[in-house]
């Protein structure tokens, strides 16, 4: 897949980093403001998709497999499961219990395990959407010929 | 009541598209219309007249909030719908690679 | 409020009908975008900013993926070959088809009317379980965003199932696209 013109490439260089930062902001403030893991993960995937669409898969030297993003996704969902299972061994034996202290409402570090859940769900959703995009939109050209 | 009826009309449009269209992309579009109408119906159920968005701030420590439970349900349902749509789209792409068309009448006539 | 929402919904229904009947797949996808972004406005008016953010991003990514698939493959809806007669839609069977469609639509609308008869009217919602969620939710979970509190604390198991479904879908897509068909 070829890239686009020089104007699109320059604007993409300026914008995609900001989009990435905005996604991280949405994820980490998920328990204080609207947003959370799902929305922030989709924004992270959007910044990567913008990079790939503007520069093309040739220039970025992407390999022909989606192994990288798929492995990241699997690791994130594994960490999510481990966080949930750890509640079985700490305190009351309830699956997916909020076992860290809640803190005061409104601080950035509060709400127990919820920010950690948000971070892992964000990584998982972003990697999954990027894998779907790579598998469906980029790597199918080689077979169509 | 009229809002619920209109919402169900969108669902009927989706069913009509699935039943009558012969193109696989059109069938996926019809399915996504049905998903949209279900999301909207759940969000309509949870609305309270004059309620605030369910986020605590200094002005809204407690009070009349919109119901957060249907919103959480719809939040998971949106991502699940995205996964289902992508799955269907990958099947359509696979069939296009094999037969060279999106037309399901033609695919059913060819031998595979 | 109800009038504005009804106007947006009628606009969405018109866009959906055009998307079903468009001959060009690209314009059908763009009309599908009308419905999706109209849904975003409805969510904002219904005081659900979380849903609006998620829906606007997910709709954009879905449209990017579907448009790229359509642009690489084909834009035409049906193949024009002599084997398939593409007659004009104004023939004598059309009246019967319209009658059947209207009949089925009326039956489904009537059953939907029966289903929502005992529901509270719009804007007047009472559910016992959500009262339990709302009452002291911030002290229980420590999260200022009540939707996130419900999503990850009260109903964390649901969210884990959803993440598993997304993982399964990705594995399924990779498997389907990697199978080599018989030539």
Domain assignment of residue A50, yes or no: yes
**C32-47 in b/e burial notation, b at 16+ Cβ within 10 A?**
bbbbbbbbbbbbbebb
Q: Which residues contact B37 (CB under 8 A, 6 or more apart)?
A: B7, B8, B10, B11, B14
State the Cα–Cα distance between residues A26 and A125, nearest whole angstrom. Answer: 13
Question: Residue A111: what pLDDT?
Answer: 74
- Determine, yes or no, domain membership for A1: no
- Using a CB–CB cutoff of 8 Å, tell me whether A114 touches chain C: yes
Q: Given this model, what pLDDT does residue C87 score?
A: 54
Cα–Cα distance, A100 to C69 (Å, whole number): 45
Measured CA to CA, the distance from residue A106 to residue C135 in angstroms comes to 18
**Average of per-residue pLDDT values in chain A:** 80
Residues above pLDDT 70, as percent of chain C: 88
On average, the pLDDT of chain C sits at 81
Question: Residue range A21-40: average pLDDT?
Answer: 86
CATH number of the domain encompassing residue B80? 1.10.287.3510
Write the residue in C65, C113, C159 that is nearest to B86 by C-beta: C65
More confident residue, C156 or B87: B87
Min distance A144 CA to chain B CA atoms (Å)? 6
Q: Point out the least confidently predicted range of A17-21, A60-64, A69-73, C86-90.
A: C86-90
Which structural domain, as residue segments, surrounds residue A93? Answer: 6-144
The Cα B19–Cα A99 span in angstroms is 50
ipTM score:
0.86
Q: For residue A145, what pLDDT band results from cuts at 50, 70 and 90?
A: very low
How much is the pLDDT for A31? 81
User: Would you tell me how many other CB atoms lie within 10 Å of the CB of residue C73?
Assistant: 18
Please give the pLDDT value at position A65.
65
Rounded mean pLDDT of A32-42?
Answer: 85
Would you list which residues of chain A are within 8 Å, Cβ to Cβ, of chain B? 33-34, 36, 38, 105-106, 125, 128-129, 132, 135-136, 140, 143-144
**Cβ A136 vs Cβ B90: under 8 Å:** yes
Report the length, in residues, of chain A.
Answer: 145
| All residues at 6 or more sequence positions from C155 whose CB lies less than 8 Å from its CB, including other chains | B72
Residue C36 CA to residue C63 CA, distance in Å, equals: 10
Mean pLDDT value across residues B22-47: 89
Q: Which of A97-106, B42-51, C71-80, C139-148 has the highest mean pLDDT?
A: B42-51
Question: Nearest by CB to C173, which of B17, B47, B86?
Answer: B86
Q: How confident is the model at residue A144 (pLDDT cuts 50, 70, 90)?
A: very low
Q: Which DSSP state fits B53?
A: P
The answer to which of B13-22, B51-60, C145-154 has the lowest mean pLDDT is: B51-60
Whether A106 contacts chain C with CB within 8 A: yes
Chain-chain contact of A30 with C53 (C-beta, under 8 angstroms):
no
Tell me the domain boundaries of chain C. Answer: 1-78
* Separation CA A125–CA B49 (nearest Å): 34
CB contact under 8 A, A73 and C72: no
- Whole-number Å distance between alpha carbons of B42 and B71: 8
Q: Is residue A107 part of a domain?
A: yes
Nearest to B12 by CA among C108, C86, A69: C108
Quick check: B42 pLDDT over 60? yes
B86 touches chain A (CB under 8 A): yes
Q: Hey, is the C-beta of A132 within 8 angstroms of any chain C C-beta?
A: yes
SS3 C183: coil
Query: Mean pLDDT score of chain B, rounded to an integer?
Result: 84
**Between C12 and C135, where is the model more confident?**
C12
Asked, for residue B73, whether it belongs to a domain, the answer is yes
Q: Mean per-residue pLDDT for C125-132? A: 74
Residue A36 lies in a domain: yes
Whether B71 is covered by a domain: the verdict is: yes
Phi-psi region of C47 (alpha: psi -120 to 50; beta: other; left: phi over 0): left
As for how many domains chain A has, the answer is 1
**Helix, strand, coil tally for chain B in percent (to 5):** 70, 5, 25
Q: What does DSSP assign to residue C181?
A: P
> Whole-angstrom Cα distance, residue C29 to residue B41?
23
Does residue A13 belong to the interface with chain C, where contact is any CB pair within 8 Å?
no
Number of C-beta neighbours around residue A110 at 10 A = 20
Position C85 scores a pLDDT of 53
**Domain range spanning residue B33?**
2-48+64-109
What is the number of domains present in chain B?
A: 1
pLDDT exceeds 50 at position B76: yes
pLDDT band at C24 (very low <50, low <70, confident <90, very high): confident
Interface test with A, best of B79, B92, B93, B101 (most A CBs within 10 A): B79
To 5 degrees, how large is the angle CA B40–CA B84–CA B5?
Answer: 25
Residue C139: is its pLDDT beyond 50? yes
């Amino acid at each position: 897949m070829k890239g686009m013109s020089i104007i699109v490439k320059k604007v993409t260089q300026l914008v995609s980093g900001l989009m990435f930062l905005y996604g991280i902001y949405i994820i980490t403030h998920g328990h204080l403001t609207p947003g959370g893991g799902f929305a922030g993960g989709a924004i992270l995937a959007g910044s990567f998709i913008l990079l790939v669409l503007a520069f093309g898969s040739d220039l970025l030297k992407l390999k022909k497999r989606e192994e990288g993003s798929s492995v990241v996704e699997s690791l994130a969902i594994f960490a999510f499961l481990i966080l949930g299972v750890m509640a079985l061994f700490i305190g009351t034996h309830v699956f997916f219990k909020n076992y860290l202290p809640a803190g005061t409402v409104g601080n950035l570090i509060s709400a127990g395990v919820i920010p950690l859940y948000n971070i892992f769900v964000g990584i998982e959703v972003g990697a999954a959407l990027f894998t779907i995009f790579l598998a469906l939109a980029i790597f199918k050209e080689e077979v169509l010929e | 009541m009229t809002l619920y009826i209109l919402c169900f009309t969108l669902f009927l449009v989706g069913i009509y598209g699935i039943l009558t269209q012969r193109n696989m992309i059109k069938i996926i579009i019809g399915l996504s219309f049905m998903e949209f109408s279900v999301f909207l119906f759940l969000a309509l159920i949870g609305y309270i007249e004059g309620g605030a968005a369910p986020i605590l701030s200094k002005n809204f420590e407690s009070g009349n909030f919109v119901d957060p439970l249907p919103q959480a349900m719809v939040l998971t349902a949106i991502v699940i719908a995205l996964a289902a749509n992508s799955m269907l789209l990958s099947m359509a792409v696979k069939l296009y690679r094999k037969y060279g068309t999106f037309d399901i009448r033609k695919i059913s006539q060819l031998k595979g | 409020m109800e009038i504005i929402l009804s106007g947006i919904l009628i606009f969405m229904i018109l866009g959906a009908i055009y998307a079903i009947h468009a001959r060009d797949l690209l314009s059908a996808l763009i009309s599908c975008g009308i419905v999706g972004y109209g849904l975003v406005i409805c969510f904002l008016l219904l005081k659900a900013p979380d849903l609006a953010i998620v829906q606007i991003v997910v709709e954009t990514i879905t449209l990017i993926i579907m448009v790229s698939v359509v642009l690489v493959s084909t834009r035409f809806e049906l193949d024009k070959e002599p084997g398939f007669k593409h007659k004009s839609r104004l023939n004598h069977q059309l009246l019967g088809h319209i009658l059947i469609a209207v009949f089925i639509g009326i039956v489904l609308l009537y059953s939907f009317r029966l289903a929502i008869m005992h529901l509270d009217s719009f804007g007047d919602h009472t559910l016992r379980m959500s009262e339990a969620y709302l009452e002291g939710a911030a002290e229980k979970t420590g999260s200022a965003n009540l939707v996130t509190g419900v999503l990850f604390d009260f109903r964390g198991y649901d969210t884990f199932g959803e993440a598993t479904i997304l993982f399964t879908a990705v594995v399924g897509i990779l498997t389907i696209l990697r199978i080599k068909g018989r030539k």
